[in-house]
Amino acid sequence: MNNFKTIYGQDLAIEILKSAISKRHIAPAYLFAGPEGVGRKKTAKVFINTLLDKSLDKGSRKRKIESNNHPDLLWVEPSYIVQGKTISQTKAKSENISIKSRPQIRLNQIKDIIEFLGKKPFGAERSIVLIEDVERINESASNALLKTLEDTNTGLFILITQRPEKLLSTIRSRCQIVPFKRLNDNHVNKVIQQSEFARELDNIPNEEIKELIDFSHGSPGRYLINLQYWLEISSPLRQKLEIRLDNRIKLLTLAKEITDELNIEQQLWLIDFEQNRMWIKQKNSNIINKLEELRKQLLNYVQPRLAWEVTLLEINLID
């Protein structure tokens, strides 16, 4: 159980899991509830690695769990339907498949779980099913999952969610709740320092790092996502976003550069980032509201350049 030492700031969650392991009293289902990027999936993998300790050799077992490819582990995540086929959200993102609808946990995925649990475990005492972002489950799948939780046989469920209140109360009642919380700045920094991706970037100004950490709200995982978005913005554009422009022509030019360089997803991230930054620096609710109007316009497919032009000009008048 030493691997739990690599998890920072989640003492209560770790205590619950270590106690269950030491007492050999594993619940049929666990609900890992808390913000994204604070160690829920990492903790789940450490827990699973411990439970599957007798299956395969240690190195091979850990590699298979890390890649979600262990024979006694079924890792389920929200999916899309593309040309009649189920595509996971991870695969869609890696293959740059652009889909307007939100991914869901679907009924056919619950049927796959039932089939998986109907087979004898390959080498472990129990089969393990992990469902990521389970709050995105649709109604028919939710009802099927509830029936499955009522009789898990020798299976173990780990449900991961940011929004436990969106699940059926009867599903929540059948799970042992494992709470996760936002990390303090000290723990966030420790996790960031251990990240290979973050360590490779030693040329980022300290002020920018602090702003990105503040914007991550105690989530190291969110920090790395924010860092990736920030790096996708070209250096010239970042510099223009840093300074106050009061010239109408320059503001219109900035709107053009933003929409030429960034896709809608990146623009939405930039709006969130600027809202957070403006609130910390100025606490001006009028600017925050203008940026919120801009977000709604982009989501409603208003012409992006026009939306940015109007917003930047209006903010300049407020400022």
- Over the stretch 240-292, which tens digit does the pLDDT of each residue have? 998 887 789 999 999 999 999 998 889 999 999 999 998 988 888 999 999 99
293-318 pLDDT, tens digit each: 999 999 888 999 999 999 999 998 88
CA–CA distance, 308 with 220 (Å, rounded to integer): 30
pLDDT at 152 over 60: yes
* Strand, coil or helix: 261: helix
pLDDT of residue 206: 79
| CA distance readout (Å), 124 to 1, 31, 96, 121, 160 | 17, 21, 36, 6, 22
Backbone angles phi, psi at 157, to 5 degrees: -105, 135
Enumerate the domain spans of the chain: 2-179, 185-318
* Tokens standing for residue 250: 């320059």
Q: For a pLDDT cut of 90, what percent of the chain falls above it?
A: 56
- What is the pLDDT at residue 56? 56
Tokens at 159, concatenated: 């449900």
- Whether residue 202 is predicted with pLDDT greater than 60 in this model: the reply is no
pLDDT at residue 180 greater than cutoff 90: yes
What pLDDT, on a 0 to 100 scale, did the predictor assign at position 199? 57
pLDDT at 91 over 90: no
Which neighbouring-strand residues pair with 31?
A: 159, 177
pLDDT at residue 58 in the model: 60
Is a pLDDT exceeding 80 seen at residue 85? yes
Name beta bridge partners: 128.
Answer: 73, 156
Whole-number pLDDT of residue 53: 65
Q: What is the pLDDT of residue 249?
A: 93
Burial of residue 261 (CB within 10 Å: 0-12, 13-18, 19+) is middle
Residue 169 buriedness (CB in 10 A; 0-12 / 13-18 / 19+): exposed
In the chain, the N- to C-terminal Cα span, in Å, equals: 55
Residue 210, pLDDT score: 85
Angle between helices 285-299 and 304-318 (to 10 degrees): 170
pLDDT of 59: 61
Stretch 166-192: mean pLDDT = 91
Q: In the 8-state DSSP scheme, what is residue 121?
A: P
Q: Dihedral sign, CA of 137, 143, 147, 150?
A: positive
* pLDDT surpassing 90 at residue 124: no
The secondary structure of 73-92 as a DSSP string is: EEEE--EEEETTEEEEHHHH
pTM of the model: 0.76
Enclosing H/E stretch for 30: strand 29-33
CATH of domain 2-179: 3.40.50.300
What's residue 173's pLDDT? 96
Residue 83: the pLDDT is 84
Residue 29, classed as helix, strand or coil, is strand
The token pair at 253 is 């030019």
In percent, the amount of the chain with pLDDT more than 70 equals 91
Q: What SS3 class is residue 33?
A: strand
Q: What is the pLDDT of residues 226-239, one digit of tens each?
A: 998 998 999 999 99
Average pLDDT of the chain is 88
Neighbours of 56 (CB within 10 A): 19
